[in-house]
Amino acid sequence: MNKVHDQDCIANNASEQVHNDQDSNTDISYSELYSMVIETCDLTEVINSYFDPTDGSCPKCGEQDFVIMRNVKNDRLEAWCCFNCYNSVYDVIDFVVWIEGIDETEAVRKLATQANILE
Ligand SMILES: [Zn+2]
């Protein structure tokens, strides 16, 4: 009788907050595009197009805490972090968001265009 109806799926979907909107110009879904960008764009090259990371200086805070990290699973340098001002691990798309101050959708489109994934 008093069946409580509080079973609303509380599973935290935040991390997979899905990018399911379709890109307007193509048939590629945003999530596919996102993966393609991650796969295609070389983090080091993208970073080099903004600044020289060799001494580890962070372009935002100036501390020598900027590192590029290797993903051991695929042996690619595809994560980065500034331990001083942005202490978490991020990918190439987050880098463009961070450095350009644009939103993620714009960053994905920009990288996809540069990589000739999008015309
Ligand atoms: Zn920093």
CA of 62 from ligand 1 middle (Å) equals 6
CA of 85 from ligand 1 middle (Å) equals 4
pLDDT reading at 89 higher than 80: yes
CA of 35 from ligand 1 middle (Å) equals 26
What is the arithmetic mean of pLDDT over 64-84?
Answer: 93
Domains and CATH numbers, the chain: 25-114 (3.90.580.10)
Who surrounds ion ligand 1 at CB < 5 A? Answer: 58, 60-61, 82, 84-85
pLDDT digits (tens, 9 = 90+) for 3-54: 444 444 333 334 444 455 555 555 789 999 999 999 999 999 999 999 999 9
Whole-number pLDDT of residue 8: 42
Q: Which residues of 81-100 are buried (b: 16+ CB within 10 A; e: fewer)?
A: bbeeebeeebbbbbbbbbbe
pLDDT reading at 115 higher than 70: yes
Average pLDDT, the chain: 83
